[in-house]
Amino acid sequence: MVVKLYGQVTAVCPQRVLLCFLEKGIEFEIFHIDLDTLEQKKPEHLLRQPFGQVPAIEDGDFKLFESRAIARYYATKYADQGTNLLGKSLEHRAIVDQWADVENQSFNALAHPIVLNLIIKPKLGEKCDTVLVEELKVKLGVVLDIYENRLASNRFLAGEEFTMADLTHMPAMAYLMSITDINQMVKARESINRWWEEITARPAWKKLMELAGRH
């Protein structure tokens, strides 16, 4: 059965789910929710996602929202199909979960407001909080140093194989890489830069960028 995904293909959270689908070889259909016109806040979408955000999915009678929960669900449901995103042992899975949690709590907590201020607000004609952005960049540098240390001795965040720990970072990281000084921060860190170049060379990522109109 084809999974219905409601969202905007250029947005970070729908991209997290779509990248999981592409890595797992799951059939899906995208139902566009226009964030620029606040379609996500309209009553019809609020029935799918009561917080007025994207994405939400429908899989037959099963419905789910929150991108990380959706990605984990499908990575588990189709564990033996496509890329193994969860880890091959209990211990490996715990490390995958650890770095996926780091993405949510430490990386995204900085990446989201940076992207919001430097990319999204200007599109909406809203003022960027430049003081906040500079403070966030300093904090991001500290986080990137920790990642650099981890990736200096590991091919990927959870070890020697690409997993959900890496995948969940990619959509927001791509937006950060479009910001010149953050791009330079990443490239100045050899191991992170090597990791980023490898994971963005994956066929699933290239397909996602085609869907999003970003090459």
Q: Where are the beta strands (DSSP E) in 147-190?
A: none
CA 30 to chain centre: 17
Q: Tokens standing for 176?
A: 């950060």
Q: Which domains does the chain have, with CATH numbers?
A: 3-82 (3.40.30.10), 90-205 (1.20.1050.10)
Does position 215 have pLDDT exceeding 80, yes or no? no
User: 106-114: long-range contacts (C-beta < 8 A, 24 or more apart)?
Assistant: 106/143, 107/143, 107/169, 107/172, 108/172, 110/136, 110/139, 110/140, 110/143, 111/140, 111/172, 111/173, 111/175, 111/176, 112/12, 112/172, 114/140, 114/176, 114/179, 114/182
Prediction pTM value: 0.95
pLDDT of 124 reads 83
Does position 18 have pLDDT exceeding 70, yes or no? yes
Is residue 10 a contact partner of residue 213, using CB atoms and an 8 Å limit?
A: yes
pLDDT, tens digit, 9 for 90 and up, residues 163-203: 999 999 999 999 999 999 999 999 999 999 999 999 999 99
pLDDT of 123 reads 84
pLDDT, tens digit, 9 for 90 and up, residues 91-146: 999 999 999 999 999 999 999 999 999 998 988 889 999 999 999 999 999 999 99
- DSSP assigned state of 156: B
Rounded Cα–Cα distance for residues 2 and 12 (Å)? 22
Q: Tokens standing for 120?
A: 């999204």
pLDDT, tens digit, 9 for 90 and up, residues 202-211: 999 999 999 9
pLDDT of 26 reads 98
- Under 8 Å CB-to-CB from 165, ≥6 apart: which residues? 95, 96, 98, 99, 100, 103, 156, 157, 158
Measuring CA to CA, which residue among 76, 60, 56, 64 is closest to residue 13? 56
pLDDT, tens digit, 9 for 90 and up, residues 76-92: 999 999 999 999 999 99
Decide the pairing of beta strands 28-32 and 3-7: parallel
pLDDT of 166 reads 98
